[in-house]
């Protein structure tokens, strides 16, 4: 675990912008210490025994939900899963009343994914337990950005001075928003590449380079992160068709010929092979996709440890 024994200063994790660089370093240092646990024959320690975490996922998730579940269990916390379809939300109960009901069961943290931007903040302002944002609408996905930056830091030692291209559906991506904030503050140059219809309003004020040509966007890039087309969030007319998008904006081996040597390829998942990324790249030696999954467990173990033990550390 991290050598820093000072109390963790945050009750909730809503987005990366509330974390100082010192906070990020502490999360990464703690995650490194937990990586060793994930390599043991018996992958479990009693660190969070007696703590409870509710995984409240009102949107579908495989990687994030399973990663938090595994992270909690490996630290001996009790984890309880709740989906929108299996809760009273499906019967018309408000998010607030559902959350207050859950708080009455005295969890130490609620990990929330919800389709509405700001939902995590809404709960955090009303609940005594920690709220960890696992994705809220288009707004933020802080744990994904942390694991992405951790993956690249493990690969390079630091992201400072590196060029990272984020390619795809930027407009609807909470992953892109959180990554832009975190990677730029860590010293990386971030490039965004997308059709004009898939860039968000106000993007010209972001601290990024903006491209509409993949070949130019990845020139000398050290890493390329592909994003899924979020068709479920799109209005009609934003794309001509998937075949045209794949031909123009899908990442292929020919694009990486102009990237930096040993360029790394990332994807937060789920992947649409043949649409946003060529299958050969997803499985290539350049790919860090599975490293991201492994990093996700270690980073989320670190977050659960820091947020669930903050009160004890303060005493």
The annotated binding site for L-aspartate is made up of: 91, 174, 228
Encoding tokens for residue 121? 């903040």
Q: How far from 77 is each of 68, 305, 308, 311, CA to CA, in Å?
A: 11, 10, 10, 16
Report how far residue 21's alpha carbon sits from residue 34's, in angstroms, rounded to the nearest whole number: 20
Residues 72, 80: Cα–Cα separation, whole Å: 10
Give the span between the Cα atoms of 289 and 299, in whole angstroms.
15
Q: How many CB atoms lie within 10 A of CB 175?
A: 25
Number of neighbouring beta carbons within 10 Å of residue 137: 17
Record the tokens describing residue 160, joined without a space. Answer: 């400072």
Say if CB 143 and CB 134 are below 8 A apart: yes
Residues 6+ apart with CB under 8 A from 292: 147, 148, 151, 266, 267, 268, 269
Sign of CA dihedral 235, 237, 241, 246: negative
Q: Cβ neighbours of residue 50 under 8 Å, at least 6 residues apart?
A: none
**Residue ranges of the binding site:** 63-64, 91, 113, 141, 144, 174, 228, 269-270
Binding-site positions for carbamoyl phosphate read: 63-64, 113, 141, 144, 269-270
Please compute, for residue 299, the number of CA atoms within 13 A of its CA located in the half-sphere on the CB side.
26
Per the CB < 8 A criterion, the answer to whether 269 and 135 are in contact is no
Distance CA 67, CA 59 (A): 15
The answer to whether residues 228 and 276 touch, using CB atoms and an 8 Å cutoff, is yes
- CA 161 to the chain's CA centroid: 22
């Amino acid at each position: 675990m991290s050598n820093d024994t000072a109390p963790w200063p945050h009750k909730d994790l809503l987005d990366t912008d509330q974390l100082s660089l010192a906070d990020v370093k502490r999360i990464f240092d703690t995650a490194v210490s937990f990586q060793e646990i994930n390599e043991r024959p018996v992958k479990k320690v009693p660190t969070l025994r007696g703590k409870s975490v509710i995984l409240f996922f009102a949107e579908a998730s495989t990687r994030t939900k399973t990663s938090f579940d595994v992270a909690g269990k490996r630290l001996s916390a009790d984890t309880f899963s709740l989906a929108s379809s299996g809760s009273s939300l499906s019967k018309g109960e408000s998010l607030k009343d559902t959350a207050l009901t859950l708080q009455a069961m005295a969890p130490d943290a609620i990990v929330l994914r919800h389709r509405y931007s700001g939902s995590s903040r809404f709960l955090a302002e009303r609940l005594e337990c920690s709220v960890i944002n696992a994705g809220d609408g288009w707004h933020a996905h802080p744990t994904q950005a942390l694991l992405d930056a951790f993956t690249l830091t493990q690969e390079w030692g630091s992201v400072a001075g590196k060029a990272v291209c984020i390619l795809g559906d930027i407009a609807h991506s909470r992953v892109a928003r959180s990554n832009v904030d975190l990677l730029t503050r860590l010293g990386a140059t971030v490039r965004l590449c997308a059709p004009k219809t898939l860039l968000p309003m106000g993007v010209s004020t972001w601290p990024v380079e903006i491209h509409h040509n993949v070949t130019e966007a990845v020139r000398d890039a050290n890493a390329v992160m592909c994003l899924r087309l979020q068709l479920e969030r799109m209005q009609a007319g934003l794309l001509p068709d998937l075949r045209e998008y794949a031909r123009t904006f899908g990442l292929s081996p020919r694009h990486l010929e102009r990237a930096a040597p040993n360029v790394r390829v990332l994807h937060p998942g789920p992947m649409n092979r043949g649409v946003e990324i060529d299958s050969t790249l997803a499985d290539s030696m350049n790919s860090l996709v599975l490293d991201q999954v492994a990093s996700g467990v270690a980073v989320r173990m670190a977050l659960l440890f820091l947020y669930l033990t903050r009160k004890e550390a303060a005493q």
